[in-house]
Amino acid sequence: MRTQVCIIGGGPSGLLLSQLLHRKGIDTIVLERKTRDYVLGRIRAGILEVGFTDLMREAGVGARMDAEGFKHDGTVIAYGEEEFGVSFHEHTGTDVLVYGQTEVTRDLYDAREAEGGNLVFNVENVGIHDAKGDAPYVTYQVDGSEHRIDCDYVAGCDGFHGVSRQTIPLTVRREYEKLYPFGWLGVLSETPPVHDELIYSWSERGFALCSMRNANLSRYYIQCSLSDSPDDWSDEAFWSELKRRIPSRYADALVTGPSIEKSIAPLRSFVTEPMRWGRLFLCGDAAHIVPPTGAKGLNTAASDIHYLYQGLTQFYQDSDSAGLDAYSEKALARVWKAERFSWTTTNLLHRYPDQSEFDLKMQRADIEFLRSNEAAQKVFAENYVGLPY
């Protein structure tokens, strides 16, 4: 079989790229290791930057997002019983959209299938071959039978644990990583959100985040130990710990209920360079990971897809490879800024096990500076709504 772009990974990165290229008449195939339902069952991001929502509309899959998503023009930062707001709109003239990654992925799957997209599920043993040559090809198995796809380019959209990044030789790859000494325990519950904006909360006991998906679906997180497992946390234990970590006016108003999903994500900062090797391009989590504190994971995948989509379109329409040649440098320039914001917000709001009294004073001063300084709030807002592509 032959295609123009072979996309490995049927998460939001791979699906968005496939849908965008399809609308430009560029042929793709998407190879996904799991089933559609498995992919949709993973509860992840909740906040979309304006760049992401623009891409979804350009891909022709923005209707439900625009109808059901919630515009948020600010957020609450809390510390102990104190709190203050940061207005995105006041400082940037724009806002973010609350619309879960699950729904983004569902919309993309629906569009790909409605438009005859070539999606292959349950693939195994994917191999990328001759990426440095002019005739790359990908092999994989489904139900035990071997397949080969000849293509012009390969897009590695297969996440942190995928095969694409590993295909780039260690003599070429440079990896940068920071592991955090804590994780996030997340709970999804069919309860009304405790507040109409997100609440990022620093507390003596650790970080907490109050988020949502819709008027009756809330998403909450608490910082937890890396040695914890979801089974260590009963719903009751989770709710009472969350209440201890947010201002009492919210704790008293919190509507609790049974968790319909409970999971722990370890926090990691990670970047691999370069994001291109011959005819193989890395996108999204295949190339970089951020701690979710800044809501940058999915949104940084979007800017990668934007740059690669532009480069491939320029190549196929104008036989001009300038966009492809600039991809890695352009994508990394924005990736590192997302890494910086995610790292700084994580350090601002989390309790580290080895923090000294001086460290705590510095953390408190950082929060106080953000509360009291317009310029600091503008910087926070510009990063949160998304830096330009």
* Residues that are catalytic: 72, 200, 292, 296, 384
* Residue 208 β-bridge partners: 201, 222
Q: Which stretch binds ligand FAS (CB under 6 A): 26-34, 129-137, 222-230, 270-278?
A: 26-34
Report the alpha-carbon angle 248-254-260, nearest 5: 140
Looking at residue 224, its amino acid is: C
Q: What is the spatial distance between Cα 258 and Cα 372, in angstroms, rounded to a whole number?
A: 38
Cβ–Cβ under 8 Å, residues 194 and 254: yes
Q: Considering beta carbons, is residue 69 or 297 the nearer one to ligand FAS?
A: 297
Q: Which stretch binds ligand PHB (CB under 6 A): 45-53, 61-69, 254-262, 320-328?
A: 45-53
Q: Considering beta carbons, is residue 189 or 328 the nearer one to ligand PHB?
A: 189
Q: Considering beta carbons, is residue 99 or 140 the nearer one to ligand PHB?
A: 99
Residues 6+ apart with CB under 8 A from 358: none
Parallel, antiparallel, or unpaired: how do β-strands 280-282 and 276-277 relate?
A: antiparallel
5 binds ligand FAS (CB under 6 A): no
Cβ–Cβ under 8 Å, residues 44 and 101: yes
* Residue 338 β-bridge partners: none
Q: Which stretch binds ligand PHB (CB under 6 A): 39-47, 89-97, 147-155, 320-328?
A: 39-47
Q: Considering beta carbons, is residue 10 or 117 the nearer one to ligand FAS?
A: 10
Report DSSP letters for 99-125, one per residue.
Answer: --HHHHHHHHHHHHHHTT--EE-S-EE
Task: Choose, by CB under 6 A, the member of 5, 6, 7, 10 that binds ligand FAS.
Answer: 10
11 binds ligand FAS (CB under 6 A): yes
Q: Which stretch binds ligand FAS (CB under 6 A): 2-10, 143-151, 240-248, 353-361?
A: 2-10
Binders in 186-225 for ligand PHB, by CB under 6 A? 198, 211, 219
User: For the window 269-308, what string marks contact with ligand FAS as x by the rule CB under 6 A?
Assistant: ---------------xx------x--xxxx--x-------
Task: Choose, by CB under 6 A, the member of 31, 47, 286, 301 that binds ligand PHB.
Answer: 47
Round to the nearest angstrom and report the end-to-end CA distance of the chain.
35
SS3 221: strand
Question: What does the block give as tokens for 268?
Answer: 């990691």
- The label of the residue with tokens 């940037």 reads 92
Residues 6+ apart with CB under 8 A from 235: 187, 256, 258, 259, 262
Chain-centroid distance, C-alpha 224: 20
Binders in 80-109 for ligand FAS, by CB under 6 A? 101
335 binds ligand FAS (CB under 6 A): no
Site residues (vs ligand PHB, CB under 6 A): 45-47, 198, 211, 219, 292-293, 295
Site residues (vs ligand FAS, CB under 6 A): 8-14, 31-34, 39, 44-45, 101, 123, 126, 157-159, 161-163, 265, 284-285, 292, 295-298, 301
